[in-house]
Amino acid sequence: MFGNRIVTIGREFGSGGRLIGQKLAERMGVNCYDKELINLASKESGLCTEVFENNDEKPLNSFFYSLVMDTGALGQTFAGYMDAPLNQKVFLAQFETIQRLAERESCVIVGRCADYALHDYPNTIHVFISGEMQDKVERVSRYNNISKDKALDLIAKSDKKRANYYNYYSNKKWGLASTYDLCINSSLTGVDGAVDVIMKFIEVKEALQRRNEIESMDEDYKENSNLFDPD
């Protein structure tokens, strides 16, 4: 009824957004794409994975930016600008890979401006995961086996990089509530609770879509029935 169901997840560093995306994908019975996008985009574009790893999430110059924002010309752009700098190829390859994924399968996509790449795609839900600084520092410190001071510095630098990347490509602001359909503080819900919230949001949204479709069909029927002469 709804076609492919896509959930994109933006996240603060250390908020558990990647793990939430993975667990959400398990609940939905679909694939989760994060770093996996590098291998997929590499395979589809012909660029080696090292190119993606070294140029991943780096801004474009203003000229190429204006070209790729013309989403109707993305296919022609990629074919016609293979002599562009590597970071430009990387962005465009991932952009197109994300759009192909949405056309091919239901999935969860973490990061990489996926919500912007799919901003006009139907049946998508765009989520942002945040967290309290104390909890993020604890998670980053434990996961990377570093001091809390180093974890705090890593969080600040990583979030600045993500914000710059997102704000550069999109016409929205990274982390701002109005940019997304749903914002969750993982410190309040926990990882599993965040997954529950997203699943419930999907249920509510699709129920509303079904109701709107039924109401629209009823209106069409009433309009058409008035065209016939009851005599």
- In this structure, is the dihedral angle defined by the CA atoms of residues 224, 227, 230 and 231, taken in order, positive or negative? negative
CATH code of residue 38: 3.40.50.300
Answer yes or no: is 177 within a domain: yes
Answer yes or no: is 162 within a domain: yes
Maximal C-alpha separation, the chain? 84
Answer yes or no: is 143 within a domain: yes
Answer yes or no: is 217 within a domain: no
Residue 15 and residue 29 in contact, taking contact as beta carbons nearer than 8 Å: no
Answer yes or no: is 219 within a domain: no
pLDDT confidence of residue 229: 53
Q: What is the pLDDT along the chain (231 residues), one digit of tens a residue?
A: 468 999 999 999 999 999 999 999 999 999 999 988 877 877 777 777 776 666 666 555 444 444 444 444 444 444 444 556 666 777 788 889 999 999 999 999 999 899 999 998 988 999 999 999 999 999 999 999 999 999 999 999 999 999 988 988 787 899 999 999 999 999 999 999 999 999 999 999 999 988 887 877 656 556 666 655 555
Of residues 216, 66, 96, 54, the one with CA closest to residue 224: 216
Q: How many domains does the chain have?
A: 1
The structure's pTM equals 0.80
Answer yes or no: is 230 within a domain: no
Domain that holds residue 126: 6-208
Answer yes or no: is 216 within a domain: no
Answer yes or no: is 231 within a domain: no
SS3 sequence, the chain?
A: CCCCCEEEEEECCCCCHHHHHHHHHHHHCCEEECCHHHHHHHHHHCCCHHHHHHHCCCCCCHHHHHHHCCHHHHHHHHHHCCCCCHHHHHHHHHHHHHHHHHHHCCEEEECCCHHHHCCCCCCEEEEEEECCHHHHHHHHHHHHCCCHHHHHHHHHHHHHHHHHHHHHHCCCCCCCHHHCCEEEEHHHHHHHHHHHHHHHHHHHHHHHHHHHHHHHHHHHHHHHHCCCCCC
Kind of pairing, strands 124-130 and 6-11? Answer: parallel
